Structure 1
Amino acid sequence: MQKKSKKKEAAAADPQTATSHNNNTIIKDSPPKIKEWRSDALDASNFERPAYLIDHLLFDGVTLLVGGPKVGKSILVEQMAHAIATGTPLWGNAVKTGTVLYLNMESDPSNAKNRRSAMGLDSTEKLYYVFEKALNLTNLETYLRRFKAKHPDLILVIIDTLHRIRGIHNTMQEYSYAQAVNDIDVLQNIAFKQDLSFIAVHHPAKNSTDPLGSQGIFGTVSSKLTLTRPKESIFGRLTVIPRFHPEWTLPLKFVQNPLMWVIDKENGGNENLPVFVSYILKFLAECEAHQFEGTCNALWLKANLANLCKNPQTLSRSLNDYMAVFQENNVTIKKGRSNGRRIICLKWHDF
């Protein structure tokens, strides 16, 4: 009987090893190279936040646009696409100009043409449409690589809708949370590899305001846009929820001629200022001497900022993020401590 080699005997004795066909010892479940971050190194690191494609509205990476049927999601993404392709500010917000690819998988050329006509949009060489149903998440990366080779300035791809691009004809109820997270991961990888961004339009499941557990899915996207409009109403609200920027809500109005969303100025909309800044200015205008001094919690409550900042901690970060805008509008923000409490002072000069 042939004796086992020492290498084979060692491999057989160790349950964590095996021998390949060429007698090389293989470590079972060998972990990949993993980098550990020490807390002080992590704290000392500087990471770039996602940049704007449309100031305060649309960010680099993957954005999930959520809204019920017939609320106007396609009109909204059409406006965003046109703004970026033509370099035209949207509602007063500056844009990053580049080529846009609109994967309009729930429409056809005739309907798309009629909608563009109803919206009064001018033609542009930097906006392309695809109506084919053959694209899916398995062949999308290859297709986009070829498209970008012809159009190097491609910066935004709109997917209308996420359910269509999946390439699997499950019903919405069968579309699980795990599947949705996996699909977003695919888009994130493509966005990173090809240096472009996505808007994925998504319908909530029936009788649900939380699409596929979108609070959990949000952890995988760069930002989320939620568009709401009561049935038969012309008024809507666009909630912008970035991962690394302040959350805020923009009041909108749906007009028919031309067909588009506009700022609802009657309900606090302002084309020249971020909504968060507008709310603070409105609050200071009503304060004695146009100033406030107190805790962030008191400011959050008195200025009624719950719709813009989910808690006082978010409010504090938002004030820091918009510090330059406040300074441009003659508002000073000072922070300090009094009787062991963190105090913030806001004053609107030259009111």
Structure 2
Amino acid sequence: MTERFHTIDGEILMNQPLSPIRFVVEGLLSHGLHLLAGAPKSGKSWLALWLSVTVAKGEEVWGNRVQQGTTLYLCFEDSRLRIQNRLFDITEDAPPNVHFCEESVRLGEGLEERIGQFILEHPDTVLIIIDTLQMIRRPAMDNSYANDYADLTALKRLADQNRIAILLIHHLRKQKDDDPFNRISGTTGLSGAVDTSFTLVEERRGSGRATLSCIGRDIEYRELGLRRNESNVWELVSDSREHPELLLPDIVFLVSDFMKDKSEYHGTPAELSELISREENRISDRMVSRLLLQNTEELAGHGIRAVTRRSSGRRIIDLYADSRSDDGDDSADKNDTAPV
């Protein structure tokens, strides 16, 4: 039998409902594999510990919503006593769904299996932090791009298959560079294998002020100014994203509110955008279609069914509310429609 590619054409793809990108920390940490690099003693482990506790509690991270769930902090460079002392600094009460382990184990020597078993025992796991990457790497004759990339492949697969975030703590090189991501220790294979790279760079050693630079496949480039308070918690001081109105809108809320007094609606993406969004925060035509396609389950949970079709060369969106959606639209060509 001849092997072949299983392709999908553009028209079908643009009408196919797909799940949107899910975030553990909205706008920063999506499901997938991520890297946080900083200089030794720069406070990156304090940040990782606070993040693991905050997500487990379901509290916001610098004003960003989180997906609450079980977290696991693999603190391979710290003792249990040190973690306990740090916990007393950053929180009054650590929840039972944040877990810690200081037993070091390497990739290819049981680490993947242990992570998989933890997820089986805690199916609500959303975040696993590994501190540090170097502690789990396999001994290699050379630090080539191929070795760097291969070492992270298994963890990337684990994160994607289980729909969780895995955050690797890593080091920066000592030499200066205008681009902080060029200072990440190792080859570009590390940055290439992860979904997001973060660098934590202090203004000066011990200043308690730092810049967290963020770049990734699923987030916009961003710089966060941070200050470490007396409890060793990194607090947000500034955010380079100066236009919060450019955040992806909550299409489920907007459409649900729009349809609350309607049984159905038919119109173009541009017409729907004008009806559901404000002038100063207008949603583009393409963004309306994309957001509807990627939120079909959430819309269905609010009693709304969306259908996209083409009519006279134009894209038309049909919205149906509650049980009345079963009535359908007799004027629509059934062979020319696709559920959004």
8 Å CA contact 1:50, 1:222 repeated in 2: no
In the superposition, the TM-score normalised over structure 1's length comes to 0.63
Deviations 1:24-55 (A, max 9, x none): xxxxxx99664345555556656544311011
2:213 corresponds, among 239, 245, 265, to 239
Q: Report whether the alignment pairs 1:253 with 2:227.
A: yes
Distance of 1:206 and 1:252 partners within structure 2: 21
Q: Report whether the alignment pairs 1:200 with 2:168.
A: yes
The amino acid across from 1:89 in the alignment is E
Q: What residue number does 1:288 align with? A: none
8 Å CA contact 1:63, 1:198 repeated in 2: yes
Distance of 2:63 and 2:124 partners within structure 1: 23
8 Å CA contact 1:104, 1:131 repeated in 2: yes
The amino acid across from 1:186 in the alignment is A
8 Å CA contact 1:235, 1:251 repeated in 2: yes
Q: Report whether the alignment pairs 1:191 with 2:140.
A: no
1:223 corresponds, among 190, 196, 216, to 196
Q: What residue number does 1:297 align with? A: none
Alignment gaps of 5+ in structure 1: 1-29, 270-274, 282-317, 337-351
- Closer, same or farther in 2 for the Cα pair 1:165/1:35, shift >3 Å? same
- Closer, same or farther in 2 for the Cα pair 1:334/1:188, shift >3 Å? closer
Deviations 1:302-342 (A, max 9, x none): xxxxxxxxxxxxxxxx94746989x9998345889xxxxxx
Distance of 1:200 and 1:31 partners within structure 2: 41
- Closer, same or farther in 2 for the Cα pair 1:44/1:184, shift >3 Å? farther
Distance of 1:129 and 1:205 partners within structure 2: 28
Distance of 2:217 and 2:121 partners within structure 1: 32
**Aligned partner of residue 163 in structure 1, secondary structure:** helix
The amino acid across from 1:96 in the alignment is Q
Distance of 2:280 and 2:18 partners within structure 1: 28
The amino acid across from 1:238 in the alignment is L
Q: What residue number does 1:117 align with? A: 88
- Closer, same or farther in 2 for the Cα pair 1:32/1:69, shift >3 Å? farther
Q: What residue number does 1:142 align with? A: 113
**Aligned partner of residue 80 in structure 1, secondary structure:** helix
Higher relative contact order (CA 8 A, sep 6+): 2
8 Å CA contact 2:33, 2:194 repeated in 1: yes
Q: What residue number does 2:260 align with? A: none
8 Å CA contact 2:37, 2:170 repeated in 1: yes
Identity %: 26
**Aligned partner of residue 218 in structure 2, secondary structure:** coil
Q: What residue number does 1:84 align with? A: 55
Q: What residue number does 1:72 align with? A: 43
Query: How many aligned positions are there?
Result: 256
Distance of 2:203 and 2:279 partners within structure 1: 37
Distance of 2:96 and 2:215 partners within structure 1: 31
The amino acid across from 1:117 in the alignment is F
Q: How does 1:32-111 map to 2 (within 5 A)?
A: 34-38=5-9, 47-111=18-82
Q: How does 1:156-195 map to 2 (within 5 A)?
A: 156-168=127-139, 174-195=142-163
Q: What residue number does 1:331 align with? A: 280
Alignment gaps of 5+ in structure 2: 254-275, 286-340
Distance of 1:129 and 1:169 partners within structure 2: 28
Q: What residue number does 1:349 align with? A: none
In the superposition, the TM-score normalised over structure 2's length comes to 0.65
**Aligned partner of residue 233 in structure 2, secondary structure:** strand
Q: What RMSD over aligned residues (CA atoms) do the two structures have, in Å?
A: 3.3
State the Cα distance separating 1:149 from its structure 2 match.
2.5
